[in-house]
Structure 1
Amino acid sequence: MLVRYNPWNEMNAITRQLDSLFQDFQAPTFRTPAAELHETDEAVHLKLELPGVEASYVDIEVSENAVKVVAERKAETKTDENGKVRSEFYYGKFQRVISLRARIQNTAVTTEYKDGILNLTLPKSETEKNKVVKVNLGEISA
């Protein structure tokens, strides 16, 4: 069987692939919430950025050594007079799991959610607090 080669078919295919690639760059993509960790002797403080997410759509699970946050930004349905919407916002569910270096008391976690910023105070377990022990050398004999 003889097949006739047409270079324009390949050029059209490449053009379609490039157009698709550039559309993907402009389309909203999955966004992992930015996080900030600060550790003190008593607790680990975790701050997560969740702009545009209502508190009722945030789910937090805390274990002894990790925090899992699942959130969802609901789409706002707004259209112009032609019925078309162009948006670069990401809508939908996303999650973040953050491992913690210290063991924490997951039953004593406190939260605050204000202006799209989630603050978690994760108190360290007693064994973590007492991990560092000061040792007295006493008198040094010469």
Structure 2
Amino acid sequence: MSTLVKTHFANPKLYNGFFGKEALNEFFAPAYAGSIPAVNVVESKEGFRIEVAAPGLQKSDFKLNLEKNQLTISAQKEQKEEETTEKYSRREFRYGSFQRTFNLPNSVNGEKIAATYADGILNIELPKREEAKEKPLREIEIA
């Protein structure tokens, strides 16, 4: 979600000259760009799959919780940068996080939910309960 912010600097050239436009954008930007990653939800005969686009994160940054048919996906990332030269030392700490909660249908078998993370995509497999799976057409004989 983008937010438009109108600023009223007394002398914008002073701020842009001192910080530079790129430096201001970088300073005020969140550590995890976009803060809420894009999500795809796919349904098949066997279940559902949630794909979360979250490049730059590690498997250990994620946390998945299931409570009362609500699946919560969250991640927290801490970035540290340090630059030291003869005359100065600069340190920057950035924290980024997001959280999404999905209300799961009763057809999902919560005991068999599995997740993997590879190539910047978190894949969560949500298998359907056997009784909820679509059955093939069956002709019923009349006696």
- Is 2:72 the partner of 1:68? yes
From the superposition, tell whether residues 96 and 126 of structure 1 become closer, same or farther in structure 2 (CA, over 3 Å): same
What is the rounded CA distance, in whole Å, between the counterparts of 2:40 and 2:95 in structure 1? 23
Alignment of 1:26-105 (within 5 A): 26=25, 27-29=28-30, 31-63=35-67, 65-79=69-83, 81=85, 82-84=88-90, 91-101=95-105, 103-105=107-109
From the superposition, tell whether residues 101 and 65 of structure 1 become closer, same or farther in structure 2 (CA, over 3 Å): same
Question: What displacement does 1:69 show?
Answer: 0.8
From the superposition, tell whether residues 39 and 63 of structure 1 become closer, same or farther in structure 2 (CA, over 3 Å): farther
What is the rounded CA distance, in whole Å, between the counterparts of 2:98 and 2:130 in structure 1? 33
User: Where do 5+ consecutive residues of structure 1 fail to align?
Assistant: 1-13
What is the rounded CA distance, in whole Å, between the counterparts of 1:98 and 1:74 in structure 2? 25
- Give the fraction of aligned pairs with identical amino acids, expressed as a percent: 22
Kindly indicate which of the two structures has a greater share of residues assigned to strand. Answer: 2
Q: Which amino acid in the other structure matches residue 119 of structure 2?
A: D
Report the TM-score when normalising by structure 1: 0.63
CA RMSD of aligned residues (A): 3.7
- Is 2:129 the partner of 1:128? no
Q: Which amino acid in the other structure matches residue 59 of structure 2?
A: A
Q: Alignment partner of 1:74: what SS? A: strand
Q: Alignment partner of 1:56: what SS? A: helix
**Structure 2 counterpart of 1:15, from 2, 8, 15:** 8
Task: Check conservation: 2:74, 2:98, Cα contact below 8 A.
Answer: yes
Report the TM-score when normalising by structure 2: 0.63
Question: What displacement does 1:44 show?
Answer: 0.4
Q: Alignment partner of 1:77: what SS? A: strand
From the superposition, tell whether residues 134 and 44 of structure 1 become closer, same or farther in structure 2 (CA, over 3 Å): same
- How many equivalent pairs are there? 121
Aligned to 2:3: none
Based on CA coordinates, which of the two structures has the bigger radius of gyration? 1
User: Where do 5+ consecutive residues of structure 2 fail to align?
Assistant: 1-6, 13-20
